[in-house]
Amino acid sequence: MSLRTRSLTVLALGGLFAALLVSAIAAPAPAAAHAPVAAPTQFEIDGVHSSVIFRIQHSGVSYFHGRFNSIQGLITVDAEKPEASSVELTIAAESVDTNNGKRDDHIRSPDFLNASEFPEIQFKSDSVKALGDKTFEIAGKLTLHGETKPVTVKAEQTGLAKNPRGEGQITGFETTFTVKRSDFGMDQMLDSLGDEVRLTVAVEARSK
The pLDDT tens digits for 95-140 are 999 999 999 999 999 999 999 999 999 999 999 999 999 999 999 9
Average pLDDT, integer, range 164-179: 94
What is the model's pLDDT at position 47? 97
The set of residues, in sequence order, having a beta carbon less than 8 Å from that of 138 and lying 6+ positions away, is: 87, 125, 127, 128, 129, 152, 153, 154, 155, 175
Nearest to 59 by CA among 194, 161, 187, 159: 194
Check pLDDT > 60 for residue 18: no
Quick one: pLDDT band at residue 165, thresholds 50, 70, 90? confident
Average pLDDT, integer, range 51-74: 97
Is there a contact between 70 and 48 (Cβ–Cβ < 8 Å)? no
What is the model's pLDDT at position 167? 86
Average pLDDT, integer, range 82-91: 97
- Determine whether 199 is exposed, middle or buried from the number of CB atoms within 10 Å of its CB (0-12, 13-18, 19+): buried
Is there a contact between 68 and 47 (Cβ–Cβ < 8 Å)? no
What is the model's pLDDT at position 24? 40
What is the model's pLDDT at position 31? 38
For domain 41-207, give the CATH number: 2.40.128.110
Quick one: pLDDT band at residue 33, thresholds 50, 70, 90? very low
Q: Where are the domains of the chain?
A: 41-207
Check pLDDT > 70 for residue 22: no
Per the model's pLDDT, the better-predicted residue between 147 and 167 turns out to be 147
Task: Determine which of 17-31, 62-76, 84-98, 112-126 has the lowest per-residue pLDDT on average.
Answer: 17-31
Q: Could you give the CA distance from residue 146 to residue 52 in angstroms, rounded to a whole number? A: 19
What is the pTM (predicted TM-score) of this model? 0.80
Check pLDDT > 80 for residue 27: no
Check pLDDT > 80 for residue 159: yes
